Chains A and B, each alone.
Chain A
Amino acid sequence: MTASPETSAHTSAHVAPQNRSVPAWVETALLMTLLLTGWEVLARTLLANSFALAAPTEVALLLFEQGPLFLRNVAATLVTALKGFFIGNAIAIALALGIVLLPAVEKPLFSAALAIYSVPIIALAPILLVLLDRPDAMVALSALSVIFTTLVATTLGLRSADPLTLDVMHVLGGGPVSKLRRVRWVAALPSLFAGLRVAAPAAVLGATVGEFMGADRGLGVLITGALASLETTRVWAVAVLATLVSGGGYVAIGWLGRRLTPWVAGMPVTHAIDPTAALQRVSGAMKAGRLLRTLAINLAVVFGGWALFIELAGLNTFFAKGPADVWAYLVTDADAAGNRTLIFGGLAVTLRNAGLGFLTGLAGGTLAAIVFVLRPSLERAVMPVAITLRSIPILATAPLVILLLGRTLTATTVIIAILSFFPTMINVMAGMRLTRVALIEVLRTLNASRWTILWRAELPSALPAIMASARIAVPASILGAVIIEWLITGVGMGNAILSGVYNADYTVLWSVAAVLTLVSMGAYGLIALAERAVLRRYAPEQLR
């Protein structure tokens, strides 16, 4: 085994400040310019007739020419998303404060929030649209999309307060409220902002999914229009708009967070990148027995809450179906067998689609992280681009990938894979970086090759991060799969939703929502169990 030049480059990046000739942002800007120019040239020459690439200048021109049209639609979505963002986050923050002041409510509240996170909003959308006024339904979908991440981020943040400072407050006579106000709240801000940053694109997605189901204007309308026409320049223009709208919120809140919490700059970033990944302490870290109990609580909360909601809200029973109706539909009705074929046949297709994309994204993200850790110089240039790409929503990737790859399984797989690719990559890189510098140096002194260090130290360090990424990617992958099925391919659960909407058969819609939620929560729970096994071996300190 001999040391390669990369070995020393890697360690010096770890240890000594690097002597940079150009700042990182210049490299990134150069790379972006190069990319756009190459794109322009390709689109206008070699691939001019491929219908896949639109030249950046053409896209810009279309956006400019039809500016008022685009603006009207984007504004509609923005208004909905902003309302949903504020309502959803206000609820989430209030719940988090409640959990910290009254720990007894934690279990059921988290179960409810996890259930909401697991409900694919695309399955909920047609139901909410008939139960509520159309605009309210879209706001509700948007609000539901942000509750879970913000609740988790805020709770973790409130709990991250320095215990010694809290002890000092205690000795000085501070009660729970004054501790909350003076210490916990401020300590929670970095984590809260990390959560809000993730919530911004989620709110836009929630609003847009509502618009898919039928709205006069909005981003969702633009996307369905672009997908119907598959006019190259239009698809690209809409994708750019979707990215700007949801990425804009992400960037804006990141900026605001940095302004309001300047002290974070020097702090070790643990879960600031993706607070949901840190959820392993909340959910992954449970004992198996407690996990079963949690499962029971989850089911009770979901079905109890659902039945109670139908009962108390006094809703029209034609639209509002309870657990009993769904049970009858799937089990006891005369044509239950046919119903099961529709629902579970669709589920099989959806799970295959979601599973393929999920595994591809997870593997791809992990591989990319390995490449970047092995080649830090590459990482420095590409990482900012990757972080930008990360905020490109499924709303933009779906039409683009369909344009490039057609309505194929490959396209579906790619679209879903992208959902988990970037978060996985970033989490895994952070996980690999957790490897102690001293440990890497000991291994180097023992003449370990770069691969040995990777295999024996860095990758095992990243295993918890891989598991956490997998766990949070499950509901996203299922949601992505159903969105694509509903919007584009017309198969699986997407097909079941379409048929329910078409036949005004609301039992179908409730069944789809219930089955998908259960499957999603079940997969989440299974991965949490596997994650626990991994943590027990590779990061026992996180299980305390």
Chain B
Amino acid sequence: MGVVQGDQMVLNIGPQHPSTHGVLRLQVRTDGEIVSEIKPYIGYLHRCFEKHSENVTYEQVIPFTDRCDYVASMNNNFGYVVTMEELMEIKVPDRVEYIRVIMAELNRIASHLLALGTYGLDVGAFTPFLYMFRDRERILDIFELTCGARLLYNYMWVGGVSHDLPKDFERICIGFLDYFEPKIKEYNDLLTHNKIFLERTADVGVLPPDVAINFGVSGPNLRGSGVNWDVRKDEPYSIYDRFEFEIPLGEGEFGTVGDSFDRYWVRVCEMKESIKIIRQAIKDLPDGDVFQTIPKKIRPPKGSIYRRTESPRGDLGYYIISDGSPIPYRVKMRSPAFTALSSLGEIAEGWMLSDVIAILGSLDIVLGEIDR
């Protein structure tokens, strides 16, 4: 930090703190309430994912990917298997593709519910957190019905999935979607259009679009700044090109484009779009055998590949290098929250201490993904 001026105070937020979404340490230099410099310190949750993946086989890497972004495990798995299938040039049957899309979109809704609930908690609204978690529990129940796990699934395997859908999955899933759609309106009435909430989030932490692209911000954070970029539409993978859905963008409805409210609002709208995708997928779900293209032994050809997919936090990229053996040579995970957090210093300097917490909440970071 260098020399501290006489009237400035150096403050530590974290590593244990109710609002830092994990173990994150922010060293903040403040002048009264205004923050002049923020330095994030990470690495408290580093579990050597990349080193481990150099010692286990390709299938055994999948549970490790679950644990990186533990809030959206299905999407982590999805990214890895899409990359591997591109490297090995495997084409999976349609039923597998539809199941994967349904699971990934359900997990997107669950992850956004957690992000919005904890964001309400950060600005002091205690009740929406509980309502959103109640609905998230129903999604976790659907996952438990399918693969037996509530949070870390190990569900998507290279060439297929680990369990087929249970018999009355369609009825339960459509039942959940019908129950959930009016709840979004309830959340909007309670939190989104609340005047105090708007004052806390509108015009706070504005991220201009060119700064966002330069900082590698992606996903809802980038779309909140008005940039139309979604990997599902622009570099489509799996069967996303068969579905009709829109990309919500931040429009500066209550403040400037790119403020915290826009990022929040993009997530609320994305939940509605995910519901649309799931309904279309369930309607067209074909029959088939989900296990037929799972290879007995994974030995990809020599080479390297980098592929990115859309996780609820942004562009999740996997860089995999294979040397022809069953054990990967190098697996690197490019996590979207890592780049989002690196932009915190740029966005949040000059705001007050309470705003720093609000901006951090709107970036929706998960430390498991940042530290791996």
Q: Do A and B bind each other?
A: no
**Residues of B in contact with A (beta carbons under 8 Å apart):** none
